[in-house]
Every structure is written in C-alpha cells, then in structure tokens.
Structure 1
Amino acid sequence: MSAGRESTHVSSLGKGDSLHQHVLASFPLCDLTEEDLTQNPQFCKLLATLTQHVDQTGLTVPLKTELDKAEQKLQSQRRQWLRSESLHKGLQEMIQDHCIRKHHATTPPDQNMFFETMEKSLLVSQCIRQLDLSSTTNQDQPSILGLTPHHVMELMPLEKNVQRMKQGLPRELEKHLKKKCLSLLSYYQPEWEGESEGLKSSKLFHLSAQLDKEKKRAESLKETCRENSVLLQRQTQLYLSELIKCIQLLQSLILDHRLRIQTDLDRKKLDYFEGKCELVLQKIKTEMVEIQLDTYTVDSISAHKKIREKLDSELKACQAEKQSVELKLASFEILGKDFEALAEEYCRLRQEIEMKNWALKEFTQYNDK
C-alpha cells in the first residue's frame, strides 16, 4: 500500500522535464544535472519520493521541527544576553564619556558623584560575578586571592548614593541611548543630520522598521544570489558538457577531413619533389656543359666525343667477347676435372710452341745477318 501511495505521489509530481525540475529545485545542494536524472529514472523517482520527507538542506521533517524549536530558544536566550550586554556596554560608554568631559571641562559635583557611584557599582558587580562559584561543578575550587563576595560587597558606595544613582540612571541612560540612535540615524541617512530635533525623533521611531526592511531585502538578495549561484553552476556544467561534445565532434571532423585530403596532399608533394629533382638534374647538366665550355674548345669537345664513342664501341666489343669467353669457359667447366688437366697441358704446349717459334725467329734473323 505504501508503494502504491509513493507511486501515486511520484506520478502527481509530473513527468519528464517537470519531474526533473522539481527534483533539482528540491535538492539545490546536490551536484545533479537533468542529464543525470534522465539517465537514472529510478533514482529520479527515489529523490522525488524523498521530497515529502526532507527539506532542501537534507533534514527530515521531525528533525527540522526540533531544530526550529532549538533555534527559537537559542534566539530568545541570545536576545536576553544581548539586552544585558548592550545595557552593560551602554553604562561603560556613559562612564567613558563622562571621563572625557571631565578632562575637557568642569562638571557639577553631583554629576561626578553619580558616575563615580555607577562605576564603583559596576566594578563590584563584575567582581562578584567572577567570585561566585555557585554555577561551577567543583564546589571545592579555591577562591581567587582568598576573596569572597562578602569582602567585595564592603567596597560598595554608600546606600544613599546608590539609591540616588538608581533614580537618575533611567533618565541618563535614555539620553545616552537617544544620542546613539540619533548618531545611527545620521549615519544611515546623512541628509537628515540638519533636520530639527523633533523631526529626527519622529523619524527615529521608523528607523527600526526601515532597518528590518533593509535586512529582509538583504536576505532576499542573498537568497537570490544563492539561487543564481546554483543555477550558474548547473548551467556551467551543462555548458561544459556541451562544449566537450562540440570539441569531440570537431576533432572527428578534422580527422575525417585530414584523412580525406591526405592522398591528394601526398600526390601533390610527390609531384613537387619530382619537379624539383628534374630541375636539379637539369641544373647539374647545365653546370657540366658550362664547365666543359670553360675548360675545352669546341674542336676539343668534338674530338673527345669521337674518342669516347670509339672507346665505348671497343668497350662494348670487349664486353661481348668477355661474355662469349665466359660462356665457353662455363661449357668447358661442365666436362669436369679431366678436361681441366687437358686444358693445363694444352696451355703448356702452347707456351712451348710460342717459345720455340720465338727461338726459331731469332735464329733465322741471326743467320740472315
């Protein structure tokens, strides 16, 4: 039954973008995007169900109630402390102002007595609070310098002076606080500083409401700023994800384009290098012709060409003869080692015949002489 109620609640929140927007608005502190919720629909439904049990900060409803009560109690105690602290600070400021006035001008004796009595009373009260051990857990804690509150009470001014001070204190405190409020009013609205005392007092009654209005406006702007910050962060994440997709698409397009034009680029480079090599070869030939023209005459070059042609023809003839001899030698080598012995014997006989022919020729020439 609970599952049916939760599904009914989730379906009542909306579908698609409306559900996603509701979840994102309910959990602004979570680092979630609409794409995350789209890719995880069950998780999105879980968050949508949790919205009826927790607030935007992640606290449950009972815990939030207890926290609000504790916050109210804390605020009440804080106001009480601030009230007493403000009163104490105000009295100290009054004493300081009196000391300053006393050094710059002559003050009436009764006024001096009033502030001296107030200063001594404040000091005695402060010392009594420091010496009061009733609020401590350790009752055996030794007193400071062996003093007790009773010892300090002996330093209080005379009772009649204290009573006279208490009677005049509200009036003096009111004057001091009014002076501070007027200073605050002049700081808040400098253009009102030249107004009359009555008009300032009238506007002073509305100062609290104006300050409260300004405070609410500042809190509203702060909340708007926080929402804008969350929205900006979410939009930044979306922008970065889209930017990454665009970069990946651009990289794929660049790669495809590069592969497509690589063949044409290589062919053009090959044609360029072939043309450059042909140009270098032509330049080398031109340099060789120039060197020949600078070194030899036209007749010498013609004679050298004829000699070269004759030598080339003789070289070709010798190469052809060498090739035929190598073929014959290869055919003779097929006959084996027996033919090698016969060939050596034939060479020996040829050498002997040549020697005898030479000797015969020499002998014949000698006889003719």
Structure 2
Amino acid sequence: MVRTLGFKQLTEEHITNNVFRVYYHYAVRKDDILHQQVLASFPLCDVTVEDLSQNPQFCKLLATLTQHVDSTGLTVSLKTELDKAEQKLQSQRKIWLRSQGLFQTLKEMIQEHCVKKHYSTVPPDQNMFYDTMEKCLLVARCVRMLDPSNTTEKELPNVLGLEPQQVLQLMPLEKNVQRMKQSLPHELEKHLKKQCLSLLCYYHPEWENESENLKCTKLMYLATQMDKDKKKAESLKESSREKTILLQRQTRLYLSELIKCIQLLQTLILDHRLKIQTDLDKKKLDYFEGKCELVLQKIKTEMVDIQLDTYTPDTISAHRKIREKLEAELKCCQDEKQSVELKLASFEVLGKEFQALAEEYCKLRQEIEMKNWALKEFTHYNNK
C-alpha cells in the first residue's frame, strides 16, 4: 500500500511538472510570436526583442495598436484619406505628364528637323509643317503665360501689356494649321516609333541588327519586361532597406555588448591591478637588486684587474721596502717627538721664570747667528 501511494504521488508530481513545462514552453513560444509580430508591424520603431521582453505591458500596447495603426504610424482612417489623395494626385500627375511628354516630344521633333535641315535638303512641305508647328507651340505657350489662372492674382499687370487675343493674331494661316494637324499624328507616331526602337536597342543591344518588323514585335513585350525589372528593382530596394534596418539593429546590439565587455574589463583591471602591480614591483625590485649586485661584482673585478696591471711583483717589493723605511723614519720621529714632549713638560714645571730665560736664550741665539753670518761674509770678502 505504501509503495502504491509513493508511486501515485510520484506520478502526480511528474505529471504536474510536465504540464507546467508544457505550459511554460507554450507561453514562451507565444511571447516570441507576439514579439516578432510587433517588430514586423513597426519596422521603423527602434525597439528590440529584449525591450519587449522586459516591458510586457508595452508589448501588449503595441500589439493593440497594430489593429488601428499601419507600419508607417498612420491610422486606418488617415491612411484611407491619404490613399484617396494619392490616387487623385496620380491621376492629375498622369494628365500633366501626358501633356508635358507630348510637348517635349514635339520640341524634340522640331530640334531634330533644325539639325537635319543644316546637313541635308528637306522638302518644302516638311519645312512648312515644322515651321507651322513651332509657331503654334510658341503662341500657345505665350497665351498660357498671359492667361491668369485661379492660383495667380488677376490684378497683376500683363507682360509688356499684352493680351492673349493679341498674341493669337500671330498664329499661322488656318489652312497651314489644318494641314499640320492632319500630318501631326503620322509624324508623331513615326517619331515615337523611332524613339521606342532606340530604347529597345539600348535595352537589348544584341537586337540592333534585326529587322524592323521583328523589333516592332519585340517592342510589344518591352513594357512588360521593363515593368518586371522595375518591380525587381523596387523589391531589391525594399530588401536593401530592411537589411539596412537589420544591420543598424545588429550594430546597436553589437555596440551595447561591446560596451558591456569594456566595462567588465575595466572592473577586472580595477579589481586586480593592485595585486598584479605588487607582484610586478616585487619582481622588478628583485631584478634591480640582482642587476646592482652584478654591477658591483663587475666593478670589483675591474678594480682587481687594474691593480694587477698597475702593480707588478718588482713594484710591490719596492713599495714594500719604501714602506718599511718610511715606517722606521716615522717611528724615529714619533720617538723624538715623545722625548721632546717629555722635556717640554719638564721645562713647563719651572713656570714663568723659565719662559723668560727661554726667550732671552732665543734672542742670544739669534744674535750669535747674525754675528756668525756677518763674520763669515767679512772673511769671505777679505779673502777676495
């Protein structure tokens, strides 16, 4: 019965641990999925997985905001209005680009005609067509500049005081304009075809020597191919931007880890510097002591070598004899000095009377020496 109870308790505890472990792994996995969703929803937000893990309430707030805000930070309503405005802007832009493209194409046609006219002979009707088109473009441009729009002040004076009607009088003849309008679609189509074929040859240089019909056939697929290439370039650009953001995050993470490593190294240096410095100083002291001892021994060796080179056996024996003689003379002098000091001490016992006699004796000795010197000099002079 005890064994059965123990087995039952062990089984219940084991089951509880397994359930807790499974629930823990499920919660961790769920948090990881939530973190990845939040980071994917806010790619421009400077937040890491570690920040979300340390601030779960902030993570929940961001997860709730994903239902109302897009990846750029705009609300759903504002995004809808922005998309409508963007569509309207794109339609207006298409209209403007269409007119601007047509205007630029006509200008290119006129410029090519002017260049061609300088290098070759052009038929008169073609000259009339391009001259009429150039004048019409110039008059239309001037009229547009003189015609005030809703965005300008109508009270401003006109350029040079001209009115649009005055400029319209400079239009070419009506028959020439009508003839130009009839020929314009054909000439425009021919020019655009030439430009498209040039673009095709630029895009695929290997197709330059093929026939015109084949080029026209391949030209039908050029727009699709360019659209694919454009989308591919945009996808590469987006991928590059994502990689740049990832690189910035990794760089920031790397710098934070590097700063932690530097702080750890600083701590190790501050904690162990004194101990290491003491051992190092002790080793340096032992080294310098040994070096000083070696230098002293070397000095002694040099001194002995100098003495051996200076004092030979003959010099040493001579010095020994001189020393013995000097010591003997020194001993004699010391004995004489001692005897004199004894006599002087015996004379000092007599007192001041002996001092007076000694002074008188000194004077007499000096007089005797002077007289002897004078007698000697006198005798020497007489002998001469």
Shared fold by TM > 0.5? Answer: yes
Matched residue, 2:227: 212
- Give CA-to-partner distance per residue, 1:26-73, whole Å, 9 cap, x none: 222222222222333332222222222212211111111111111111
Select 1:188's aligned residue among 203, 206, 209: 203
Matched residue, 1:151: 166
Structure 2 Cα separation of the partners of residues 360 and 78 of structure 1: 145
Q: Which has the higher contact order (CA 8 A, sep 6+)?
A: 1
Amino acid at match of 1:71: E
1:133 counterpart = 2:148: yes
Structure 1 unmatched runs, 5+? 1-10, 308-353, 363-369
Q: CA deviation at 1:228?
A: 0.6
Select 2:245's aligned residue among 212, 230, 233: 230
Mapping of residues 164-313 of structure 1, within 5 Å: 164-253=179-268, 259-283=274-298, 285-286=300-301, 294=310, 297=316
Q: CA deviation at 1:200?
A: 0.6
Amino acid at match of 2:195: K
Q: CA deviation at 1:130?
A: 1.2
Structure 1 Cα separation of the partners of residues 34 and 88 of structure 2: 38
Corresponding pairs, count: 306
Distance 1:297 1:206, change over 3 A: same
Alpha-carbon RMSD across the aligned residues, in angstroms, is 3.4
Amino acid at match of 1:88: F
Q: CA deviation at 1:281?
A: 4.3
Distance 1:228 1:300, change over 3 A: same
Q: TM-score, normalised by structure 2?
A: 0.69
- Give CA-to-partner distance per residue, 1:4-46, whole Å, 9 cap, x none: xxxxxxx999743332222222222222222222333332222
Mapping of residues 306-325 of structure 1, within 5 Å: none
Structure 1 Cα separation of the partners of residues 42 and 320 of structure 2: 100
Structure 1 Cα separation of the partners of residues 84 and 283 of structure 2: 83
Mapping of residues 321-332 of structure 1, within 5 Å: none
Amino acid at match of 1:215: K
Distance 1:136 1:12, change over 3 A: farther
Q: CA deviation at 1:361?
A: 12
Q: Which moved more, 1:77-86 or 1:246-255?
A: 246-255
Distance 1:217 1:286, change over 3 A: closer
CA contact (8 A) 1:13 1:19 kept: no
Q: Which moved more, 1:151-160 or 1:235-244?
A: 235-244
Q: Which moved more, 1:185-194 or 1:143-152?
A: 143-152
CA contact (8 A) 1:13 1:22 kept: no
Structure 2 Cα separation of the partners of residues 41 and 355 of structure 1: 121
Matched residue, 2:376: none
Q: Secondary structure at the match of 2:291?
A: helix
CA contact (8 A) 1:185 1:207 kept: yes
Distance 1:285 1:165, change over 3 A: closer
Q: CA deviation at 1:355?
A: 10
Select 2:125's aligned residue among 94, 97, 110: 110
Q: CA deviation at 1:155?
A: 1.2
Structure 2 Cα separation of the partners of residues 13 and 121 of structure 1: 75
Distance 1:301 1:43, change over 3 A: farther
